[in-house]
């Protein structure tokens, strides 16, 4: 079997969708980022987490990296989600600057353009310059709307890392039994463990929407699969896979605008508080590793602003004995979260001035100096120094 180094595998597999979407003339001459360009990376501390398990005195032990980084950036202690308390609506509100009320599972697109579309249209930016890397596999439509004058031709490349592994499972394990894959059943179990990590393990089906991978990409996945799964850095969760793919996108294309959606914390729906806390700490670690990549990558260092915020909270214990399980009560524990801004162009410090999720897109647009349509969100001046 041909053994493909893990980095090369991730580069090819993680960027599979981009390879199909981006015209050859764009791929042939990737532009070096200008030192004057400010880059924006928005990270959803996704799946839902409460204040009490994060930025409270008793919660800081769960987030050692972000707790240490807090003094290096601008911390907003009062970030309010006033929209629908579901994953798709919350995250699409973050990327559109308007509160969204569409199908919870991503079968409807946002009702207003995304900041990706505004950016690419105004800046005439190539397809390689806007990305959404999403653990939540119902986020296939997160990168663009169907609004006239915008749409997929101006949207972000959306990569669903779990979808890539699903293609590998289908191709390597279930269809090509003559390929000589050692210990097929064990490989299948490990793959399914990654695919089903989190709330999806309760019986959700793998989201099959979006673009299909072409034959070349499937062959790449087949060649690298066993080496990848048994490699020293093989991920054991969807969020770890998402981090690796996001890092490769940054190294290969250095996009100016990117959304990274973590989501393993939604394991809270299983009802195990310990698993929820472990996921909080894992997400904290991955956010720290993403910041480390920004600091070490010459294309990002000293010109990037990283925004980290939970897409929503979770129910308070006053609503139920195990309030952390869900996120639909609408109480303060669900709606009131935080945002941490790191990097260039911001005033360090902390403020309890209320901001909201829809302010993120308005601020990103202002930082990129691009016009938008009407947004409910307002620019956050402390991040626009």
Question: Would the pLDDT of 91 be above 50?
Answer: yes
- Min mean pLDDT across 145-149, 178-182, 228-232, 372-376 is at 178-182
Concatenating the DSSP letter of every residue in 132-201 gives EEESSTT-TTTT----TT-SGGGSPEEE-HHHHHHHHIIIIIII-TTS--TTHHHHHHHHHHHHTTTGGG
pTM summary value: 0.83
Average pLDDT (121-136) is: 92
Q: How many angstroms separate the CA atoms of 355 and 79, rounded? A: 5
Query: For residue 188, is it within any domain?
Result: no
Smallest Cα–Cα separation from 336: which of 366, 315, 367? 315
Q: How many angstroms separate the CA atoms of 345 and 44, rounded? A: 20
Average pLDDT (177-191) is: 54
- Min mean pLDDT across 33-42, 183-192, 293-302, 366-375 is at 183-192
Query: For residue 343, is it within any domain?
Result: yes
Average pLDDT (118-141) is: 91
Query: For residue 35, is it within any domain?
Result: no
- Min mean pLDDT across 151-160, 223-232, 356-365 is at 223-232
Instruction: Tell me what pLDDT residue 180 has.
Output: 47
Query: For residue 104, is it within any domain?
Result: yes
Average pLDDT (117-123) is: 97
Residue 120 belongs to a domain with what CATH number? 3.40.720.10
Mean pLDDT of the chain: 80
Give the residue with greater pLDDT, 350 vs 137.
350
Question: Would the pLDDT of 139 be above 80?
Answer: yes
Confidence of residue 153 (pLDDT cuts 50, 70, 90): very high
Average pLDDT (10-25) is: 42
Interior/surface letters 11-20, b for 16+ CB within 10 angstroms, e for the rest: bbbbbbbbbe
Domain housing 281 = 41-163+238-383
Total residue length of the chain: 385
Query: For residue 154, is it within any domain?
Result: yes
Instruction: Tell me what pLDDT residue 187 has.
Output: 57
Concatenating the DSSP letter of every residue in 26-73 gives HHTSPPPPPTT--EEEEEE-TT---GGGSSSTTTGGG-HHHHHHGGGS
Instruction: Tell me what pLDDT residue 220 has.
Output: 42
Interior/surface letters 275-291, b for 16+ CB within 10 angstroms, e for the rest: ebbbbbbbbbbbbbebb
- Min mean pLDDT across 34-48, 245-259, 304-318 is at 34-48
Instruction: Tell me what pLDDT residue 2 has.
Output: 32
Give the contacts of 331 (CB within 8 A, at least 6 positions apart).
315, 316, 318, 319
Query: For residue 209, is it within any domain?
Result: no
Give the contacts of 278 (CB within 8 A, at least 6 positions apart).
none
Q: How many angstroms separate the CA atoms of 327 and 275, rounded? A: 17
Query: For residue 53, is it within any domain?
Result: yes
Question: Would the pLDDT of 74 be above 70?
Answer: yes
Give the residue with greater pLDDT, 170 vs 218.
170
Instruction: Tell me what pLDDT residue 161 has.
Output: 77
Instruction: Tell me what pLDDT residue 238 has.
Output: 82
Domain count within the chain = 1
- Min mean pLDDT across 13-17, 100-104, 134-138 is at 13-17
Average pLDDT (7-28) is: 42
| Digit-coded pLDDT (tens) for 221-264 | 344 444 555 566 666 788 888 888 788 889 888 999 999 999 99
| Digit-coded pLDDT (tens) for 185-233 | 665 566 666 666 655 543 333 333 334 433 443 344 344 444 555 566 6
Instruction: Tell me what pLDDT residue 319 has.
Output: 60
Angle at 300 between CA 299 and CA 304, to 5 degrees: 145
69: Cα separation from own chain's centroid: 20
Query: For residue 308, is it within any domain?
Result: yes
Instruction: Tell me what pLDDT residue 280 has.
Output: 97
Determine the straight-line distance between the first and last CA of the chain, rounded to whole angstroms: 54
């Amino acid at each position: 079997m041909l053994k493909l180094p893990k980095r090369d595998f991730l580069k090819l597999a993680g960027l599979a969708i981009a390879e199909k979407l981006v015209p050859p003339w764009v791929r042939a001459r990737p532009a070096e980022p200008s030192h004057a360009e400010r880059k924006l990376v928005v990270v959803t501390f996704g799946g839902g987490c409460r204040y009490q398990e994060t930025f409270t005195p008793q919660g800081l032990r769960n987030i050692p990296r972000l707790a240490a980084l807090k003094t290096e950036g601008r911390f907003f202690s009062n970030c309010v989600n006033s929209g629908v308390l579901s994953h798709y609506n919350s995250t699409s509100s973050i990327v559109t600057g308007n509160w969204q009320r569409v199908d919870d599972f991503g079968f409807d697109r946002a009702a207003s353009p995304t900041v990706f579309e505004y950016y690419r249209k105004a800046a005439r930016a190539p397809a390689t310059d806007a990305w959404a890397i999403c653990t939540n596999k119902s986020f296939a439509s997160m990168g663009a709307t169907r609004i006239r004058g915008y749409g997929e031709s101006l949207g972000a490349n959306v990569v669903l890392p779990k979808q890539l592994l699903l293609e590998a499972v289908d191709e390597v394990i279930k269809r090509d039994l003559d390929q000589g894959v050692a210990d097929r059943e064990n490989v299948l179990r490990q793959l399914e463990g990654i695919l089903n990590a989190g709330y999806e393990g309760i019986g959700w089906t793998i989201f099959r929407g979006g673009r299909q991978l072409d034959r070349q990409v499937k062959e790449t996945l087949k060649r690298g699969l066993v080496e990848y799964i048994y490699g020293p850095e093989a991920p054991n969760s969807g969020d770890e896979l998402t981090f690796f793919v996001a890092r490769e996108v940054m190294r290969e294309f250095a996009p100016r605008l990117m959304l990274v959606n973590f989501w393993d914390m939604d394991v809270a729906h299983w009802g195990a508080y310990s698993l929820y806390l472990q996921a909080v700490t894992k997400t904290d670690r991955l956010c720290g590793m993403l910041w480390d990549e920004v600091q070490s990558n010459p294309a990002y260092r000293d010109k990037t602003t990283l925004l980290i915020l939970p897409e929503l909270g979770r129910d308070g214990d006053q609503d139920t004995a195990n309030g952390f399980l869900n996120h639909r009560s609408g109480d303060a524990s669900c709606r009131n979260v935080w945002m941490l801004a790191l990097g260039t162009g911001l005033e360090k410090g902390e403020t309890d001035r209320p901001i909201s999720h829809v302010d993120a897109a308005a601020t990103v647009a202002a930082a990129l100096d691009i016009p938008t349509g009407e947004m409910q969100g307002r620019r956050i001046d402390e991040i626009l120094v």
